[in-house]
Chain A
Amino acid sequence: MAGLVECSGTAIRFKARGGGWTEALAATDLRLAPGSFTALIGPSGCGKSTLLNAIAGFVPLAGGGVAVDGAQVTGPSPEVGVVFQQYALFPWFTARGNVEFALRRLGLPRAERQARAEASLAEVGLHGRGGAWPGQLSGGMKQRVALARTLAAQPKVLLMDEPFGALDAQTRATMHELLLGVWERRRTTVLFVTHDVDEALTLADRIHVMASGPGRIIETIELGDRAARQGLDYLANRNRIIGLLRHARPHGDET
């Protein structure tokens, strides 16, 4: 199980209103080593979600390419799992039904599929909650189900697009712990998009800072060995990223 992601000269354009094109992402190189945890941070409109969508195979490229383990990405595939900010759970399936949706392509017997779905839910702390409907679950629980569903498909790469953006601080901290636990067990390559500096510093071992107009990576920060990280390093990196983000905003957009 590898999970090497290589973006080379990846560029994306969108049709602008009233004709013409908007350059959402300038030609960008990005390499995600197998088993690494990378964060993309930047102001809105910097193309961080666009870059994630390109790796997911959701948007056509205007130039360059994206490869997972050497194979070009031509569309969505179960090898590249995605967790969305809006959960994207199917409300017509139960929590377990949602996870089973991901398992169905494996052609398992029904009993085994259900058992695997329950095991996936247990892994994210939802033991015995498989019968609940998404509408009955809190935001944090919904995102747990979404994570279980994505992991059940056994992706090599896990893309997360501001997955905890809608959660309160307490729930978010719990989810960080949960996610790191899952990642340490599975060592899936993770790309995590966020606009929260502390979230990026808590989770990732490498942070790419992006800027807008056109979207591009302006700086890469290596956080080094997790066990050896010091409080002072944290503060220094935090200040550095905040400084970069301040300049990354276009003028007149100081919100």
Chain B
Amino acid sequence: MRGQGIRFGQVAASLGGVLLIWWAVTAWGGVNPVLVPGPAVVWAAAVELWADGTMGSDLRVSLGRAAVGFGIGSVLGVLVGLLTARTRILGAAVTPVLTLLRPIPAIALVPLAIVWFGIGEGSKWFVISYTVFLAVWLNTHHGAAHVAGTYIRASRSLGAGRLREFFEVVVPAAAPHIVAGLRMGAALAFLSLVAAELTGASAGIGFRIQEARQFMQTEVMFVNLILLGVLGALLDALFVALANRLVHWEQL
């Protein structure tokens, strides 16, 4: 409890400090308020975006896209990762290809996604789920390919068949890596969300930042950038809390 209090105090002091510096710099008048709006202006913009429903619908649309992309990408990533790690032929065939795909950033896929899936939801889901898939596949593969040999030996000498070995030994032994991959995937879903919303969206946090550029509304940009940061941090904290219960023998 005491540790949590200290951590809370640390977070409050850190964020408070940044807010103070931000306020001081903008109040001093040395910077152009059109380029760098002050905290009060940004807060007012946030309240307005919330009041007219823009923020609510942007959140709903963006979180929906991130959730669908994360869902598709993580399910495929776990399945493919387990397969490539535990079947030698598949691993040998697929691993080099996926290693080649890894360095390609999500934003570079956007034009292709538009050609393939149009400017509807499909292209957004594709970009997000592809990014999530790679991270989850990589971690799952690593975890499932490096299960301690003594676990396998123990399992076999205790009379477990291959099916039980897979579900009761390999999968739980790889679980800490799988969960780490899912955590990374959740963060990447947010990062690629903005790239995905470059594919001609009409709502969403990433789209709103783009749109604000056309009207020079830096305060709207600030609101949505901060929103992305807060959402990502909250999601990660939620994920860690959940993961530490799920793979309780190995704390993240």
Residues on A close to B: CB < 8 A?
Answer: 56-58, 75-78, 80-82, 84, 86, 88, 90-92, 101-102, 104-105, 133-135, 149-150, 153
Q: How far is the CA of A75 from the CA of B155 in the complex (A)?
A: 12
Contact B159 A78 (CB under 8 A): yes
On chain B, the residues within 8 Å of A80 by CB distance are: 157
The residues of B with any CB-CB pair to A shorter than 8 Å are: 148, 150-151, 153-161, 164, 168-169, 172-173, 175, 247-250
User: Please, could you name 17 A-B residue pairs with CB atoms under 8 Å apart, sorted by A?
Assistant: A76-B153, A82-B153, A82-B154, A84-B150, A84-B154, A86-B150, A88-B150, A88-B153, A90-B172, A90-B173, A92-B249, A101-B168, A104-B160, A104-B164, A133-B249, A134-B249, A135-B249
B155 closest partner in A (C-beta) = A101
A89 to chain B, nearest CB (A): 8
Most chain A beta carbons < 10 A, residue from B153, B164, B173 = B153
Q: Quote the shortest CB–CB distance from B164 to chain A (angstroms).
A: 7
Q: Is A102 within 8 A of B158, CB to CB?
A: yes
The complex places the Cα of A182 from the Cα of B78 at a distance, in Å, of 43
The chain B residue sitting closest to A91, CB to CB, is B249
A145 to B148, CA, bound (A): 19
Output the least CB separation between B105 and chain A (Å): 36
- CB within 8 Å for A92 and B153 given contacts A101-B160, A104-B164, A135-B249: no
- A84-B150, A92-B175 known; A105 and B160 CB under 8 Å? yes
Asked if residues A76 and B156 are in contact (CB atoms below 8 Å), the reply is yes
Closest to B151 in A: A88
The answer, among A76, A91, A133, for a CB contact under 8 Å with B157, is A76
A105 to B153, CA, bound (A): 16
Shortest 3 CB-CB contacts between residues of A and residues of B: A78-B159, A91-B249, A76-B156
Say yes or no: A81 contacts B157, CB within 8 Å: yes
Task: Using known A-B contacts A104-B164, A133-B249, determine if residue A90 contacts B151 with beta carbons closer than 8 Å.
Answer: yes
Task: Find chain A residues with CB under 8 A from B247 CB.
Answer: 92
Contact A133 B248 (CB under 8 A): yes
Contact status A153-B150, CB under 8 Å: no
